[in-house]
Amino acid sequence: MSVEGKLRLKELVIRRSSAKGQITKFKNYLTGINDKLELNNIEFTELKLKLAKFEALSVRVDDLQGEIEVLSPENISTEIDERDNIEQDIIISIATAKTLVERFSKVFDCEHKRNSMHNVSCCVEESNSCTDLGLKLPQIQINKFDGAYFRWLEFKDTFENLIHNNDRIPPINKFHYLISYLQGDAARVISNFEVSANNYVSAWDLLCSRYNNKRILINHHLNSIFNIKQLPRESERALRFLVDQVTKDLRALASLGQPTHTWDTLIVFMLSSKLDNNTLLKWEEVRSSLDGDVPNLEQFYKFLIDRADILESLNRNNKSDINVSKPHVQVRSTYNNNYNTMVGEPTMLNGDLLERRRDLLGCKA
């Protein structure tokens, strides 16, 4: 063998040794994968890519081994045994890798089917719920928050339930929604934040820390109750507003941890002092007929609502009586060109008077 041939053979043997090292490394990799019960998406993709790369390596090794056998015919039997050993390792490795790919493919397919079935189930449930309602619900509008403390709890609860706690909305979208629903002082609180997905939680937390001031919120709702104005006269609207406003404030105070369920006597006494004389007289009559010495807030609310219903019914009947009692008089108009006036003539006048009236108007003309 020439010197050049020997150098070439030496190079090929070195390259074959390197390839055998890669084969051993791939076998060890497959052993580690085979011990795992499941793979994530990245690991599964890595397995498929390494298998494809290893199959390409097997082709190169076959070419190397063939050239080595040509350059060393005196060692042909040894080289054939070497080929058999290498091919055996390659075949076993490829078979093992393909088996693993098939196994984990089934796992991923099952997972995908479960997710698909879950999504379909969710869609069906949502569709059924809409079908059961039998109508298309209007879009829920969130009132803008301007920094007024008495609006904070309502805004916070609505925004959290519709947007903040909705995992299907990306953080960047939540941030844009938040900005669109803020104005005035509230908007300035988070104005220094750059709009990004990473900043959304920080912006929301800052807004909550600014307006989740329990002491200020409690004071506001207490002031709202204690500063109710005296009712000047009987009015169903005033009575309904009284019930709605106090109920709203008490619910807010209860959500802030205040023991409003023990305040019935105080609230009833305070609100009854704000009633007009007629309503207060009726309340005293009702109160004396109630069981127990001290009426509770629910009984007081019921009285106010019933009284408002009575007043509303009376007002409606009075309006109907007024409309019925009005005489229906038809008026016929005559235009006087000289005076540029419209002269109304009741049709109840008899014929002679009408004729005489026309003559007089004609003379003046």
Same domain, 221 and 188: no
Percent of the chain scoring above 70 in pLDDT: 78
Neighbouring residues of 107: CB distance < 8 A, sequence distance ≥ 6: 38, 39
Same domain, 14 and 99: yes
Q: State how many domains the chain has.
A: 3
Read off the pLDDT of each residue in 350-355 and give the average, rounded to a whole number. Answer: 50
Residues 339/263, Cβ–Cβ less than 8 Å: no
Domain boundary among 301, 317, 333: 317
Domain membership flag for residue 131: no
Full-model pTM: 0.43
Same domain, 19 and 111: yes
Residue 108 has a pLDDT of 65
Domain membership flag for residue 36: yes
pLDDT, tens only, 58-74: 888 888 888 888 888 88
Q: Would you say residue 55 has pLDDT above 80?
A: yes
Residues 178/200, Cβ–Cβ less than 8 Å: yes
pLDDT, tens only, 230-245: 888 888 888 889 989 8
In what helix (H) or strand (E) does residue 164 lie, and over which residues does it extend? none
Same domain, 100 and 24: yes
Residues 255/217, Cβ–Cβ less than 8 Å: no
Same domain, 161 and 266: no
In what helix (H) or strand (E) does residue 105 lie, and over which residues does it extend? helix 76-133
Residue 101 has a pLDDT of 84
pLDDT, tens only, 133-161: 455 556 677 888 888 887 888 888 889 88
Domain membership flag for residue 331: no
The secondary structure of 216-257 as a DSSP string is HHHHHHHHHHHTPPPP-S--HHHHHHHHHHHHHHHHHHHHTT
In what helix (H) or strand (E) does residue 183 lie, and over which residues does it extend? none
Same domain, 16 and 38: yes
Domain boundary among 212, 234, 252: 212
365 half-sphere exposure, CB direction, 13 A CA radius: 12
Same domain, 24 and 108: yes
Residues 346/361, Cβ–Cβ less than 8 Å: no
Same domain, 45 and 111: yes
Domain membership flag for residue 337: no
Same domain, 70 and 47: yes
Read off the pLDDT of each residue in 268-282 and give the average, rounded to a whole number. Answer: 89
Domain membership flag for residue 360: no
Q: How confident is the model at residue 202 (pLDDT cuts 50, 70, 90)?
A: very high
Residue 35 domain boundaries: 3-116
Read off the pLDDT of each residue in 216-222 and give the average, rounded to a whole number. Answer: 85
Same domain, 201 and 266: no
Domain membership flag for residue 121: no
**Using CA atoms, how far apart are residues 240 and 199, in angstroms rounded to an integer?**
44
Mean pLDDT over the full length of the chain? 78
Read off the pLDDT of each residue in 281-304 and give the average, rounded to a whole number. Answer: 85
Read off the pLDDT of each residue in 307-319 and give the average, rounded to a whole number. Answer: 83
pLDDT, tens only, 95-124: 888 888 888 787 766 655 555 444 434 443
Of 13-27, 260-274, 309-323, 332-346, which range is least confident? 332-346
Domain boundary among 299, 317, 335: 317
Q: Would you say residue 338 has pLDDT above 50?
A: no
**Using CA atoms, how far apart are residues 363 and 250, in angstroms rounded to an integer?**
77
Name the nearest CA neighbour of 11 among 72, 55, 63, 64. Answer: 64
Residue with tokens 């990306």: 170
Same domain, 8 and 106: yes
Domain membership flag for residue 68: yes
Neighbouring residues of 57: CB distance < 8 A, sequence distance ≥ 6: 19, 22, 23
Same domain, 224 and 193: no
Percent of the chain scoring above 90 in pLDDT: 4
Residues 164/177, Cβ–Cβ less than 8 Å: no
Residue 212 has a pLDDT of 80
Domain membership flag for residue 127: no
